[in-house]
A = this chain, B = another copy of it.
Amino acid sequence: MAVQALVDAFLAGRRASLARAMSIVEDGRPGCDELLALLHPRLGRARRIGITGPPGAGKSTLTTLLAAGYRAAGHTVGILAVDPTSPFTGGALLGDRVRMEPVALDPGVFIRSMATRGSLGGLAGTTRELCDVLDAFGMDRILIETVGVGQSELEVARTADQTVVVLVPESGDSIQTMKAGLMEIADLFVVNKADRSGADRVKHDLEVMLGMRSGHALGGDDPAHHGVDLTNLRQIANPAKAARKAAVSTDGDSWTPAVIQCVGTTGLGVVELSAALDRHFVYLERRGVLAARRRVRLRQRVVDVVEDRVRHRLWLDAATNGWLDGEMPKVESGEATPFAVADALLARSGPLLTGVTR
């Protein structure tokens, strides 16, 4: 059968079959479920990293730099750029594709952009499944870049193992407003474009928010404000060692998100970011957090499949729709309520819902 042939080519590592598999899943074409079912036993090897932040924060550049670093270390990389297009924000992210040129032609990198105006639930579900395809193909690292608008970044963050929130010095004023949302999704913070004024203030404010330092006013004597942070220097010299050391020194079961200053245009801070991601991943594995996050994600996956099944069976069925069309005039006239009609519809659609053929 066609899907099995595709999977054979896919498992043989053919790039064209990866592209085809991604398209089938992205568009939900026939064979999509079968394909994902066949790939399911091969999941769990890739590390999934979400990168989110406001439009214009430099996410594409950071993503490209991270990808280049992973390639230099011998890892394969999948990049998924997810743009929940809004009439008022446009497809800003997709316009940035050109920034990924440095890695776009590398055969060890696969990039897919996805812009959608569909439902966000669908967006998050599709993102997760596209990551599954990249994971099953054998990509070591999957970078998921999302514009932070609406609730999309929340949904998409839930599809990643670890999430980096990218801010810029100009984000300073809104950190208090963003607090709850940021705390919910960020494993790591980047203050990008840190060569602009205000970068130290934003880092300081984030650290206060995270409880890493007391809220006193910025003092000129604080070495952290001049970049003289010995821990950070050590990490840059030997990221892997520093990562292990830092992970061991984590006390208790909690992780305090690091705040890292970067300058995407020069690459400053990217090695440190990569090291912090490694450190965080070690924490995730040691404390069982990774397994827990993946368990939640997989359970959500089953829940989504169940709800999709119900939706499809009900609303693609001509008899259901015909019956509902017949009832609607009563709802419109006020004679019947939406609730009574909904209950009646569910009562008569039993065989459809449970998958028993009539």
Q: Measuring CB to CB, which residues of chain A are less than 8 angstroms from any residue of chain B? A: 33, 36-37, 40-44, 53-54, 84-92, 117-121, 148-154, 165, 174, 177-178, 180-182, 184-185, 294-295, 298-299, 301-303, 305-307, 309-311, 314-315, 324, 327-328, 331-332, 334-335, 337-343, 345-347, 349-350, 353-356
- Are B87 and A153 in contact (CB-based, < 8 A)? yes
Residues of chain B lying within 8 A (CB to CB) of residue A353? 310, 346, 350, 353-354
For the complex of A and B, the 3 pairs showing the least CB-CB separation, nearest first, are A150-B150, A87-B181, A90-B177
Q: Can you name 9 A-B residue pairings with CB atoms under 8 Å?
A: A40-B334, A88-B148, A88-B178, A298-B331, A301-B331, A302-B342, A309-B346, A346-B353, A347-B355
Provide the bound-state CA to CA distance between A121 and B311, in Å. Answer: 14
If A40-B337, A306-B345 are given as contacts, then 7 extra A-B residue pairs at C-beta distance below 8 Å, sorted by A number, are A36-B337, A37-B338, A87-B178, A120-B151, A302-B338, A307-B307, A310-B353
Residues of chain B lying within 8 A (CB to CB) of residue A180? 87
- Are A306 and B89 in contact (CB-based, < 8 A)? no
Known contacts A298-B332, A354-B349, A184 near B87 by CB under 8 Å: yes
- Are A342 and B305 in contact (CB-based, < 8 A)? yes
- Are A177 and B91 in contact (CB-based, < 8 A)? yes
- Are B346 and A90 in contact (CB-based, < 8 A)? no
By secondary structure, the A interface counts as helix
Provide the bound-state CA to CA distance between A290 and B120, in Å. Answer: 28
Residues of chain B lying within 8 A (CB to CB) of residue A89? 149
Report the minimal beta-carbon distance from A276 to chain B, rounded to whole angstroms: 20
Provide the bound-state CA to CA distance between A154 and B303, in Å. Answer: 26
- Are B86 and A151 in contact (CB-based, < 8 A)? yes
Residues of chain B lying within 8 A (CB to CB) of residue A177? 90-92
- Are A350 and B342 in contact (CB-based, < 8 A)? no
- Are B84 and A151 in contact (CB-based, < 8 A)? yes
- Are B309 and A310 in contact (CB-based, < 8 A)? no
Residues of chain B lying within 8 A (CB to CB) of residue A335? 41
Provide the bound-state CA to CA distance between A346 and B306, in Å. Answer: 7
Report the minimal beta-carbon distance from A330 to chain B, rounded to whole angstroms: 11
Provide the bound-state CA to CA distance between A91 and B177, in Å. Answer: 7
Report the minimal beta-carbon distance from A311 to chain B, rounded to whole angstroms: 7
Residues of chain B lying within 8 A (CB to CB) of residue A301? 331, 338
- Are B154 and A117 in contact (CB-based, < 8 A)? yes
- Are B90 and A178 in contact (CB-based, < 8 A)? yes
Provide the bound-state CA to CA distance between A337 and B41, in Å. Answer: 8
Which residue of B has the minimal Cβ distance to A300?
Answer: B338
Residues of chain B lying within 8 A (CB to CB) of residue A307? 307, 310-311
Residue from B150, B309, B340, B341 within 8 A of A151 (CB atoms): B150
- Are A181 and B86 in contact (CB-based, < 8 A)? yes
Provide the bound-state CA to CA distance between A80 and B341, in Å. Answer: 28
